[in-house]
Amino acid sequence: MAIADAMLMEMDMEEKTTQRVLERLPESKLSWKPHPKAYSLGQLAMHIAVGPGRVATAAVEDTREFTPPPPVDPKTRQEIMEAFAASCATAKQVVKSFDDAKMMATWTLTRNGKVIMSVPRAAFLRAIMMNHIYHHRGQLSVYIKLLDLPVPSIYGPSADENPFG
């Protein structure tokens, strides 16, 4: 099995899970923050939504200068869901285009010309496009709990939802 094929299978599974979490977002609370330094609920959700496509697109180049995107304030849950669907479609298209040699080729991220990371492209995609987004999805589930809303099942039962019972 090619590296891209294995990654695509996981992307399909995790996309459905992330979609369940995003569907729980209350539009009336998109500007809510758990702390003054934190992203708002909507900003965090949008960061998750656009992440896969943005990261996969960056992986097309062999070297990328890091320029952090500003937070986006979505107006509706639908805006977030549409951005997520488009982002996932882009990410899958890009990942499908990489053969094993391209996946194992060195990919470099710089900031002001200084190397931040230089790793096989597959490691970059795994760490940032996938694991980074899972990390933020976990944060989002905490936001949902703090708002006293039911947290969906992610990798198994939550206190609010049991897909096995």
Residue 159 lies in a domain: no
In a domain, 157, yes or no: no
Q: How far is CA 47 from CA 72, 80, 84, 85, 106, in A?
A: 8, 9, 9, 13, 26
Domain around 126: 3-146
* pLDDT 10s digits, 93-139: 999 999 999 999 999 999 999 999 999 999 999 999 999 999 999 99
CATH of the domain at 90: 1.20.120.450
Q: Is residue 156 part of a domain?
A: no
Number of domains forming the structure of the chain = 1
* Within a domain: 165: no
Predicted model pTM: 0.95
- 15-25: per-residue pLDDT in tens? 999 999 999 99
The answer to the question of residue 154 being in a domain is no
